[in-house]
Amino acid sequence: MKCIYCGCLDDKVIDSRVSDDGTSIRRRRECLGCGKRYTTYETVETTPIMVVKKSGCRQQFSTAKVKQGIVKACEKRPVSMSDIDKLVNDIEMKIHNNFDGEVTTSQIGEYVMEGLKELDDVAYVRFAAIYRQFKDINSWLSEIQEVLKTKK
Ligand SMILES: [Zn+2]
């Protein structure tokens, strides 16, 4: 850290403690140039992800909501909760890596479908049916056939 008194770049940490709520670390530093002491705070950088809905309004991204949708699609299917949790984590990571603070609901939907395709055909088709709101039964059927084809 650059000393606020003399601008020297060398310092030593003489004390560090975690704040009561555990969200930051307070460090007491001593400048090796002038010997004065100052305090720095270290916090985790959290950039909330905003989800842009079809209507254009924004809402904070929630893993709970994504999970809810997946759990529903996997109802009575041989998919374990740990598989679902893993999928939710993967999706969250993908969003953090590929988007800069904002993602559309349709992109999240695509990630969910990608993941479900790997986990369970039926869950995938269920989710896709709701999510894509197929206009007619034919486009839904062709989607199902597509899944069956790739699984062979
Ligand atoms: Zn200094």
Residue by residue, pLDDT tens for the chain (152 residues) are 899 999 999 999 999 998 887 778 999 999 999 999 999 988 876 678 899 988 889 999 988 999 999 999 999 999 999 999 999 999 988 998 888 889 998 899 999 999 999 999 999 988 888 777 655 666 667 777 777 776 55
Ligand 1 centre to CA of 40 (Å) is: 14
Alpha carbon distances (Å) from 62 to 1, 45, 103: 36, 17, 12
- Could you count the other beta carbons within 10 Å of the beta carbon of residue 83? 16
Ligand 1 centre to CA of 101 (Å) is: 37
**Please, what is the angle between helix 105-119 and helix 121-132, to 10°?**
160
Ligand 1 centre to CA of 36 (Å) is: 6
What letter would DSSP give residue 123? H
Quote the tokens at residue 52: 């842009």
What letter would DSSP give residue 53? P
Ligand 1 centre to CA of 38 (Å) is: 9
Ligand 1 centre to CA of 13 (Å) is: 13
Ligand 1 centre to CA of 42 (Å) is: 20
Ligand 1 centre to CA of 2 (Å) is: 8
Alpha carbon distances (Å) from 131 to 16, 21, 125: 49, 40, 10
Ligand 1 centre to CA of 131 (Å) is: 59
Ligand 1 centre to CA of 33 (Å) is: 5
SS3 content of the chain, % helix, strand, coil (to 5): 45, 20, 30
> In this predicted structure, what is the pLDDT of residue 116?
94
Quote the tokens at residue 3: 């000393």
